[in-house]
């Protein structure tokens, strides 16, 4: 009898955890069906939002500091969800162009970095923003963007391993 109860308890707990993850990423929201208010009710208030001239809206949902993803939700002019996309990956990082991209473009592409990982280096007049993500090898990593602090233009960007795990080894990613 006790074993049956424990099995049921584990099953219910697993379902609750999985449903929480679905809300976290918005994966349970259907494009063309879900409304802006349903997106916000499911995913929470966005960290940032942008309104386009055509009536579209973009919402940023960073899931840090220890999370490894930022989700962008795009809302059509009619107020319905167009799509939700995870943006902390190599395809999005590759769209950042040193000498061309500026802070506003990086924010719109990746969402805000974590404030505790933002640094200013006076000697170089350089501002660094950082995001934590899962790299191509499914290991925790950081992606850094270095800006000229005066102009706000990207100087460079790079990826590095997150070596904060036990024994200096980056722990595996879990989404």
Lowest-pLDDT range, 41-45, 66-70, 98-102, 126-130? 66-70
Instruction: Report DSSP state, residue 80.
Output: B
Report which secondary-structure segment, H or E, holds 49: strand 48-51
Q: How far apart, in whole angstroms, are the C-alpha atoms of residue 41 and residue 101? A: 33
| Mean pLDDT across 142-152 | 97
Instruction: Give the Cα-Cα-Cα angle 82, 86, 87 (nearest 5 degrees).
Output: 110
The better pLDDT of the pair 40, 24 is held by 40
Q: How confident is the model at residue 138 (pLDDT cuts 50, 70, 90)?
A: confident
Domain limits, the chain: 90-168
DSSP lists the bridge partners of residue 154 as 147
The better pLDDT of the pair 168, 35 is held by 35
Please give the pLDDT value at position 20: 38
Rounded to two decimals, the pTM is 0.80
Q: Which CATH number fits domain 90-168: 1.10.3470, 1.10.3660, 3.30.1450, 2.130.10?
A: 3.30.1450
């Amino acid at each position: 009898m006790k074993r049956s109860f424990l099995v049921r308890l584990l099953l219910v707990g697993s379902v609750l955890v999985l449903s929480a993850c679905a809300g976290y990423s918005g994966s349970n929201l259907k494009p063309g069906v879900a409304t802006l208010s349903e997106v916000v009710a499911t995913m929470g208030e966005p960290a940032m939002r942008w309104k386009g001239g055509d009536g579209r809206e973009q919402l940023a949902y960073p899931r840090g500091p220890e999370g490894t993803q930022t989700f962008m939700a795009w809302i059509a002019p009619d107020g319905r969800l167009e799509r939700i996309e995870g943006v902390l990956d190599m395809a999005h990082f590759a769209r950042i162009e040193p000498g061309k991209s500026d802070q506003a473009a990086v924010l719109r592409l990746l969402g805000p970095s974590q404030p505790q990982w933002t640094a200013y280096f006076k000697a170089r007049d350089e501002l660094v923003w950082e995001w934590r993500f899962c790299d191509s090898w499914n290991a925790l990593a950081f992606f850094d963007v270095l800006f000229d602090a005066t102009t706000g233009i990207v100087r460079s960007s790079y990826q590095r391993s997150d070596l904060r795990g036990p024994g200096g080894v980056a722990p595996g990613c879990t989404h």
